[in-house]
Structure 1
Amino acid sequence: MPRARNQQISLSDTPYYHCISRCVRRAFLCGEDSVTGKSFEHRRGWIETRILFLSQLFSIDICAYAVMSNHLHIVLHVNEIQAKNWSTHEVLRRWHSLHKGSLFTQQYARGDTIPDYAIELAEQSAEAYRKRLSDVSWFMRELNEPIARQANAEDGCTGRFWEGRFKSQALLDDASVLACMAYVDLNPIRANIATTPETSEFTSIKQRVKAAKTGSQPKALHPFVGNEHKEKNEGILFKLTDYLQLVDMTGRIARQDKRGSIDLSLSPILQRLGISSENWLTIAIQFEQNTHGVVGQEQSIQRYRNAQPRSRPNKRCCRLLA
């Protein structure tokens, strides 16, 4: 039996999550129908555009994403502090970009004169919206449902577009976050639909490489801030150049279908992650096969289990290879 979503998402344990949604009708939805030759590749663009749009509204940062022909991967960082600091007007502005809200929230947002009971109701609604705008389940709902309706309208049909609930994995530490991001960014190369990270369409790695050429980082993606900012909670605590090098080298090995060692110039970042070169390849190339519901290094898994003393031993907790 699947675990309840509120048991899979625990911000007290980690703000990072890897989410996966798969299509019901497989490649006929986003890729190319090999029988009729009809292409649905444009739908991958719909999904990428929606991801980047939602990143501007939710207090959820996008670390990595890859839109494939029959599924999508996305690594999310929940920024609870940001949502708590929003004013009521800011919450309503963001929510009204997605939904109409109620009559009272619309009036409140416009600054209309309304009775006290209406102000109270509008503020209560805003607090509910605030929670939704920092909720992984709501993010995935706002991502998947509009795409399903748009695709069904194009096909002139009804019914499911996605396979039930999205799958989520909690990423407990820096090692699991970086490994999962690399796995997601390399999906097109592993699927043999791209030859290099920078030519991987509908991926975060292409966005990062494009921005890096101008000496910047994509505004829609969670930034790399380097190791010197460990006291801050505003980005990924590694250098972007280190990460791009690591992904590029891992991608080269993945394309050659080898389990060789990684170039020695990349060893410092792996040492900081606490992962050997050989085991990095196992993780970054076969992340889903080797991990399940909760992912982290052994000490992170132990802390997670200690924080949930009433739960049974969780076979879905997976230790990253050290």
Structure 2
Amino acid sequence: MPRVSRMIVQNQTAVYHVMSRTALDGFPLEAFEKDFLLELIKRMSGLFFTEVYGFALMGNHFHLLVKMIPEDRFSDEAVKQRLVLFYGEKKAPVDDGQLPFIRQKLGSLSEFIREIKVNFTRFYNKRHGRRGYFWGDRFKSVIVEEGETLINCLAYIDLNPVRAGIVERPEDYRWNSLGYHIQSKNKGGFLSTDFGLKEFNVKSGKERVRRYREYVYETGAIKPPTKPHSNSHSSATFVGGVDDSSKYSECTSAAASPGRLGIISNAKRNDRSICGKIVTKERNRNFEISRTDRFLYRTRYFTDSGIIGSREFVSGTYQQFKHLFQCRHEKKPKSVKGLDGLFSLKRLSENF
């Protein structure tokens, strides 16, 4: 079956969760490569008609949450100014005859990601003395509704290094958006501090970051430190402001705790049975997928759903693209278990 053309919203702002993986084995994106990729994304976002909400650069893939802004929102003078800032006075293509083509390019999500990936491939191949492709298949993109869905998606992205077992707190990771906010104080104003919090009338960017961090901790069920400057961590999990200590009382061993984050100790690799305490825990909650599960484990709904948001948003946006799908019946929004009020265009199989 031929793959479906990419769904791109026309003539209005739209937020996309973009993800792209490398074609190489292992984890080729090390610290130096991640630093370069981050600077490249920052540079390209200043040229293209974008607003970046968040990102996570991992060892073999990256996530980007970005709003694309229609080209008609920018005057000719504003376009020329972007070109000069990017290329410099002498090299900037400021011929008025080229502006329509340039406008179209700078408003394109595909062109934005292509420039990032092509330029990174050149850098990587030169640095490592190689030729050929660096990135795998075409990048994935999901249309994300602004508001609650956006902040949920952003939290999922920022929790990538926690799920991978790299860090215990997302802001300790240098190459994600929460780490960038905390460690560099959002240097250069690279990231939007909207977070979907405008409805709360929060004008201070600092307060928005604080509230977003609180949201991520409560949503992701992260163990906060008991005291400042202390290496010990509380065994309690905070979800929605409720102390749910029982979640950690059953996983106190060094082997069990990393396993929850996706890292299995050597001692446990050959143990194929499910711990009795875990079975009891799941039985007590009737084996339902919880909100916390959606963020502590990899979920395909944030990366493969096509469109994600409220029922009305998914249904309405689908109407713009239903001609792309070869199916007899119209697709209907599917509810995402564990996240009340969140719907997906596609029904996806998952393993928890």
2:307 to 294, 299, 302: 294
TM-score by length of 2: 0.66
Shift of 1:261: 6.8
1:226 to 198, 222, 233: 198
Helix, strand or coil: the match of 2:171? helix
Alignment of 1:61-210 (within 5 A): 61-80=51-70, 83-95=71-83, 106=93, 109=94, 122-210=95-183
For residues 248-283 of structure 1, give each alpha carbon's deviation from its aligned partner in whole angstroms, at most 9, with x where no partner exists.
233444899x9x7714379xxxxxxxxxxx743243
Question: Distance between the aligned counterparts of 1:289 and 1:316, measured in 2?
Answer: 18
For residues 119-138 of structure 1, give each alpha carbon's deviation from its aligned partner in whole angstroms, at most 9, with x where no partner exists.
xxx32311211121121111
Question: Distance between the aligned counterparts of 1:69 and 1:211, measured in 2?
Answer: 21
Higher relative contact order (CA 8 A, sep 6+): 1
What 5-or-longer segments of structure 2 have no aligned partner?
A: 225-232, 244-288, 341-352
1:246 to 211, 215, 218: 215
Residues 66, 184 of structure 1: 8 Å contact kept: yes
For residues 269-319 of structure 1, give each alpha carbon's deviation from its aligned partner in whole angstroms, at most 9, with x where no partner exists.
xxxxxxxxx743243334642352111122222222344565545769654
1:53 to 43, 57, 63: 43
Question: Distance between the aligned counterparts of 1:203 and 1:61, measured in 2?
Answer: 16
Residues 174, 180 of structure 2: 8 Å contact kept: no
Residues 219, 240 of structure 2: 8 Å contact kept: no
Which of the pair is proportionally richer in helix?
A: 1
Identity of aligned residues (%): 22
What 5-or-longer segments of structure 1 have no aligned partner?
A: 31-39, 110-121, 267-277
CA RMSD in angstroms, aligned pairs only? 3.7
Helix, strand or coil: the match of 1:52? helix
Deviates more, 1:176-185 or 1:305-314: 305-314
1:284 to 283, 289, 295: 295
- The verdict on how the C-alpha distance between 1:53 and 1:13 changes in structure 2, with shifts beyond 3 A counting, is closer
Question: Distance between the aligned counterparts of 1:203 and 1:79, measured in 2?
Answer: 23
Deviates more, 1:181-190 or 1:89-98: 89-98
Helix, strand or coil: the match of 1:164? coil
Residues 293, 316 of structure 1: 8 Å contact kept: no
Structure 2 residue aligned with 1:37: none
Helix, strand or coil: the match of 2:239? coil
Alignment of 1:13-24 (within 5 A): 15-24=14-23
Letter in 2 for 1:262: V
Structure 2 residue aligned with 1:269: none
Question: Distance between the aligned counterparts of 1:42 and 1:208, measured in 2?
Answer: 20
Aligned residues: 274
- The verdict on how the C-alpha distance between 1:170 and 1:318 changes in structure 2, with shifts beyond 3 A counting, is farther
Question: Distance between the aligned counterparts of 2:86 and 2:306, measured in 1?
Answer: 30
For residues 154-199 of structure 1, give each alpha carbon's deviation from its aligned partner in whole angstroms, at most 9, with x where no partner exists.
2211111000211111113423211110011110111111121221
For residues 37-95 of structure 1, give each alpha carbon's deviation from its aligned partner in whole angstroms, at most 9, with x where no partner exists.
xxx33101111111111222222011110000000000001122xx4343434423434
Helix, strand or coil: the match of 1:27? coil
Deviates more, 1:308-317 or 1:45-54: 308-317
Question: Distance between the aligned counterparts of 1:193 and 1:74, measured in 2?
Answer: 19
Helix, strand or coil: the match of 2:18? strand
TM-score by length of 1: 0.72
Residues 172, 295 of structure 1: 8 Å contact kept: yes
Residues 180, 284 of structure 1: 8 Å contact kept: no
